[in-house]
Amino acid sequence: MHLWVIKTLEPLGGGNRLLRAGLIARMASAKGMRVTWWNSRIDRVSGRARRSEDIVATRELGIDLELLRGPRYHRAISMRRFLHDLSTAADFVRRTIGRSPPDIIYCSMPPIELTVAAVAYARRHEIPVVVDVRDIWPDLWGELAPRALRPIARLTAIPYRRLLTFALTRADALFACGEGALAWALARAGRERRGVDGVFPHAVAAEPLPPHVRREAEAFWEGIGLGWGRREEERLRLVFAGALTERAGCLEFLRTFLTLPADLRKRVRIVVAGSGAQAPAIRELAVRDSSVIWTDWLDRARLWTLYERCDVGVAPYRRTLDAGWILVNKFCEYIFHGLPVLTTLTGEVERFVREHGCGMIWSGDAADLSAKIARFMDRDALKELRRNARTAGKLFDADRVYGEMIERLELLARYARLRKIAAPTGGTTH
């Protein structure tokens, strides 16, 4: 079976963390499938061309790699981003002309342009295609664009909704990261849920670190004062790791934290790891207040060992239109690593937190933040929250979640082959 995985801007192999599409590609390859991963030439984190060693490491996993051309960009909603997405879709169209089709296509959305190109290719070649809805584009554009550009973003979204409807109505199955997101996609497709559709949260691969890699990562944290010692007079350690964008809410969280009484702040250490538009402002806060540590984007080993040294994961995301519809990637990652979560998110995240007793919901104001931190400082309460998080984290194991996704893809591909075989004797064509 030949599977095409279409997802741009995700990290490749090597020292990086493989995310959703990369893990699906690797796991499918390990099952004996032939896998082609269509990704982008640009690394989203660094903004530079892919490193040759990462390309080699990905191919050594048994994955055929196709890197699509597109210009760099810095903001998720910007003219440069539109140009990037149009360029990669056009490159995909050019490079698939006359190419032998796979047995099935798994395509992540966004971007809309590449999703439309992938679905159109699948329909021409009468092969099944699955669209995995990761964000509710273009409905979010009016919220995420810079304030001055929001009217333009809302107008631009109108034709993109038609393109999205084209893709979703012609997909053989729809996947999503949450029940709300799947319901949104089905409404766009104008149909009821079918057995092949599914909700699959983000998941994490449970991979032990090689001893020498672990030693290097631990030495890094020891060097900046985050060792395993007496824990800095029992300071509570909070961590935010991810893109430092307005949507992520980390800067606003830190500004609120810095308004709390000094005696409380002295008992807390917040580690922020990431890059993005708000990184300079966060770095400046870290210089001014010793309660905050900022470090740039981390590789897998440093990130995993950071989580081991922290008590609570912070997910202070803005409450955008889709905020309650999905279990966001960072939330799943924290829980998988046994970190209870302090979050502003409602909907599916809040339901999960309350059902599993693995975190607290922050209202967004200083008084509530002070109360939540005080609760986390209760070591007995924290121990119970961490125990609950470790138990709930099993639900986000990649072998379990993505293994089921791959089985669903195999089922669709087998069914399509049987239907083609049956067509000449009275069956129907795709």
Give the angle subtended at the CA of 398 by the CAs of 393 and 402, to the nearest 5°. 130
Same domain, 388 and 408: no
Indicate whether 139 and 198 sit together in one domain.
yes
Based on the domain organization, do 137 and 199 belong to the same domain? yes
Residues 158 and 67 in one domain: yes
d(C-alpha 66, C-alpha 212), whole Å: 32
Q: Please state, in angstroms and rounded to a whole number, the distance separating the CA atoms of residues 390 and 296.
A: 27
Shared domain for 200 and 278, answered yes or no, is no
The number of beta carbons lying within 10 Å of the beta carbon of residue 206 is 14
Where is average pLDDT lowest: 74-78, 189-193, 239-243? Answer: 74-78
Strands (DSSP E) contained in 115-221 are 129-133, 173-176, 198-199
Alpha-carbon distance of 321 to 366, in angstroms, equals 24
Looking at residues 42-55, what average pLDDT do you find? 78
pLDDT at 429: 44
Question: Residue 353 belongs to what H/E stretch?
Answer: helix 347-356
CATH number assigned to the domain comprising residue 330: 3.40.50.2000
Of 123-132, 200-209, 396-405, the poorest mean pLDDT is in 200-209
17 belongs to a structural domain? yes
**Total structural domains in the chain?**
2
Same domain, 119 and 243: no
276, part of any domain: yes
Residues 190 and 261 in one domain: no
pLDDT per residue over 114-159, tens digit each? 999 999 999 999 999 999 999 888 877 766 666 777 788 788 888 8
- Shared domain for 216 and 200, answered yes or no, is no
Give the CB-side neighbour count of residue 79, counting CA atoms within 13 A: 2
The pTM of the full predicted model, rounded to 2 decimals, is: 0.89
Q: Are residues 414 and 351 in the same domain?
A: no
Q: Under DSSP, is residue 129 helix (H, G, I), strand (E, B) or coil?
A: strand
Given CA atoms 245, 250, 253, 257 in this order, what sign does their dihedral have?
negative
Average pLDDT for residues 337-344, to the nearest whole number?
Answer: 97
User: Does 198 reside within a domain?
Assistant: yes
The total of other beta-carbon atoms located within 10 Å of residue 357's CB is 14
Helix axes 211-223, 300-309, angle to 10 degrees: 60
Note whether residue 430 is domain-resident.
no
d(CA 415, CA 356): 37
Residues 144 and 42 in one domain: yes
Q: Cα 294 from chain centroid?
A: 21
For residues 184-191, give the mean pLDDT: 96
CA angle 165, 168, 174 (to 5 degrees): 150
Residue type, 340: P
162 and 244 co-located in one domain: no
**Percent above pLDDT 90 for the chain:** 68
Mean pLDDT of 30-35: 96
Contact 293, 310 (CB under 8 A): no
Indicate if the pLDDT at residue 1 is higher than 80. Answer: yes
CA distances (Å), origin 305, targets 66, 220, 299, 352, 354: 32, 10, 10, 25, 27
Q: Which domain holds residue 327?
A: 211-395
pLDDT at 75 (0 to 100) = 67
- DSSP states along 277-336: TTHHHHHHHHHH-TTEEEE----HHHHHHHHHH-SEEEE-----TTTTTS--HHHHHHHH
Give the pLDDT confidence of 250-287 residue by residue, as tens digits. 999 999 999 999 999 999 999 999 988 899 999 999 99
Q: Are residues 286 and 171 in the same domain?
A: no
Both tokens of 150, joined, read 């929001």
Would you list the DSSP string of 192-246? ---TT-EE----B---PPPHHHHHHHHHHHHHTT--SSSHHHH-EEEEEES---T
Please indicate, yes or no, if residue 44 is contained in any of the structural domains.
Answer: yes
Q: State residue 427's pLDDT score.
A: 45
Q: Which pLDDT score, from 0 to 100, does residue 247 have?
A: 84
Query: Residues 167, 115: contact at Cβ < 8 Å?
Result: yes
- Between the CA of residue 162 and those of 45, 106, 188, 189, 333, what are the distances in Å? 30, 21, 9, 10, 34
CA 360 to chain centroid, in Å, comes to 21
User: Token pair for residue 133?
Assistant: 């809805």
Asked if 88 and 114 count as a contact pair (C-beta separation under 8 A), the reply is yes
